[in-house]
């Protein structure tokens, strides 16, 4: 627990990952400050489904449930997918997963990014104290103090803590700072932490479409020479598409009229769900691989996209970020139980070792898949088609893949 007038943890960024970290630590009894440049746009049920959706794995869903926000998300708009089917456009061979084979209700849930942020933001607001911070006297749990709109202007680190100055002159003291403000993290740049990776020269084209046949509560993915095409089931019966294409091809697809786009999309998907019906407006975002060379610097940690950005072909980006939150929560709980300083180097190294190892393995694995499945050369296509078919028949491999995607491996 912090000393009066001092925070335990300062979280920069209140997106999905930063919000989850702040809420989790506050519920665990830590005093938390949150710095956010702007509040998230409110989510409303009557609005069109957000174009940015995520495929939540069971461990991410369990975290949100433990934080008390999952019931509101599930009641608002979330689609469970019970099956997954992956196949290759250039060679025979496919790989399928079914939750029923594992005795589970779902493999994952398709949820709007903005809905997750909205639910966490509302929970943070409800958790923040109405009176002076920290609250006076005995209390159960920690507290949250939200600074928004606000920006970090200065950061000074001492032996026993750090001092942060906001752009408006507000000064805060904490024992630990977590940078979770996204891929263009200003805190990471301030700390001098470099990153490695590459630009894929691709953009992910996203839209929501109606299909002639039901999506069958299935996440579909077809590998093509230019990149994977995913059809993800939405709660309203439509599918959210994520179509990874080379830059020039993405620009061409974005410029197509509605009829031409629907026809070309259906052909690319091999009309697996029949003809493509009504489609929303399209958008696109660049695809990159980014891995921070360090996740800890002094009394500061990186989490979420500030630490790692991966290819979206397996929908693991946000799940990896939520695993950062799960790990940090466990590490800080253990440090407090031992009576250790939560910002001490040996504590932060525990988090860094675990998270950098797992996220690097995941990112490199996804990068390797993109390289192998992103080519249309016949010998490679034949081999990868055979590989999909083999994995589908090899129970141990299939189980390991499912466990990895679910956060159980």
Distance CA 183, CA 201 (A): 17
C-beta atoms surrounding 248 within 10 Å: 10
Per-residue pLDDT reduced to its tens digit, 196-241: 989 999 999 999 999 999 999 999 999 888 889 999 999 999 999 9
Closest CA to 148 of 11, 352, 333, 302: 11
Q: What is the pLDDT of residue 374?
A: 58
Is residue 201 within 8 Å of 247, Cβ to Cβ? yes
Residue at token pair 């970020």: 321
Distance CA 333, CA 275 (A): 52
Q: What is the pLDDT of residue 399?
A: 72
- Residue 183: which residues within 8 A CB-CB, separation 6 or more? 288, 290, 305, 306, 309
Q: Can you give the three-state secondary structure of the chain, one letter per residue?
A: CCCCCCEEEEEECCCHHHHHHHHHHHHCCCEEEEECCCCCCCCCCCCCCCCCEEEECHHHHHHHHHCCCHHHHHHHHEEEECEEEEEECCCCCEEEEEHHHHCCCCCEEEEEHHHHHHHHHHHHHHHCCCCCCCCCCCCCCCEEEEECCCCEEEEEECCCCEEEEECCCCEEEEEEEEECCCCCCHHHHHHCCCEEEEEEEEEEEEEEEEECCCCCCEEEEEEECCEEEEEEECCCCCEEEEEEEEHHHHHHHHHCCHHHHHHHHHHHCCCCCCCEEEECCCEEEEEEEEEECCCEECCEEECHHHCEECCHHHCCHHHHHHHHHHHHHHHHHHHHHHCCCCCCHHHHHHHHHHHHHHHHHHHHHHHHHHHHHCCCCHHHHHHHHHHHHHHHHCHHHHHHHHHHHHCCC
pTM over 0.85: yes
Give the alpha-carbon dihedral of 208, 209, 211, 215, to 10 degrees: 0
**Residues making up the chain, counted from first to last:** 409
Closest CA to 14 of 37, 44, 41: 37
Distance CA 352, CA 2 (A): 23
Q: Which domains does the chain have, with CATH numbers?
A: 7-45+117-195+289-367 (3.50.50.60)
Per-residue pLDDT reduced to its tens digit, 237-259: 999 999 999 999 999 999 999 99
Distance CA 15, CA 132 (A): 25
> What residue ranges of the chain have pLDDT lower than 50?
1-4, 130-140
CA–centroid distance for 353 within its chain: 20
Distance CA 189, CA 331 (A): 25
């Amino acid at each position: 627990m912090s000393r009066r007038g001092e925070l335990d943890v300062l979280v920069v960024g209140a997106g999905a990952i930063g919000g989850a970290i702040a809420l989790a630590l506050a519920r665990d009894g830590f005093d938390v400050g949150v710095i956010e440049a702007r509040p998230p746009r409110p989510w409303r049920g009557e609005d069109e489904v957000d174009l940015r959706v995520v495929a939540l794995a069971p461990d991410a869903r369990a975290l949100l449930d433990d934080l008390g926000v999952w019931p509101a998300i599930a009641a608002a708009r979330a689609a469970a997918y019970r099956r997954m089917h992956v196949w290759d456009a250039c060679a025979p061979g496919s790989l399928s997963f079914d939750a029923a084979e594992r005795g589970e209700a779902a493999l994952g849930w398709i949820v709007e990014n903005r809905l997750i942020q909205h639910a966490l933001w509302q929970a943070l607001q409800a958790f923040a104290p109405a009176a002076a911070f920290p609250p006076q006297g005995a209390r159960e749990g920690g507290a949250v103090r939200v600074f928004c709109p606000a920006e970090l202007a200065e950061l000074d680190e001492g032996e026993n803590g750090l001092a942060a100055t906001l752009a408006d002159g507000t000064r805060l003291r904490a024992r630990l700072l977590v940078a979770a403000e996204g891929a263009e993290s200003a805190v990471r740049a301030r700390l001098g932490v470099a990153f490695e990776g590459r630009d894929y020269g691709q953009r992910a084209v996203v839209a929501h479409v109606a299909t002639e046949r039901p999506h069958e509560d299935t996440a579909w993915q077809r590998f093509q020479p230019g990149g994977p095409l995913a059809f993800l089931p939405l709660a309203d019966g439509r599918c959210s598409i994520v179509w990874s294409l080379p830059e020039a091809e993405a620009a061409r697809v974005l410029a197509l009229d509605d009829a031409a786009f629907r026809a070309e999309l259906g052909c690319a998907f091999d009309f697996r769900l029949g003809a493509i019906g009504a489609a929303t407006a399209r958008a696109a975002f660049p695809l990159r691989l980014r891995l921070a060379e360090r996740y800890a610097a002094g009394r500061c940690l990186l989490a979420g996209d500030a630490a790692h950005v991966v290819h979206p072909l397996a929908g693991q980006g946000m799940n990896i970020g939520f695993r950062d939150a799960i790990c940090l929560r466990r590490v800080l709980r253990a440090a407090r139980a031992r009576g250790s300083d939560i910002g001490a180097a040996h504590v932060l190294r525990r988090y860094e070792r675990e998270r950098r190892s797992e996220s690097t393995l995941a990112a490199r694995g996804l990068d390797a898949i993109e390289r192998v499945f992103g080519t249309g050369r016949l010998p490679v296509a034949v081999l990868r088609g055979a590989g999909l078919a083999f994995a589908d028949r090899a129970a141990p491999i299939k189980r390991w893949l499912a466990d990895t995607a679910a956060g159980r491996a």
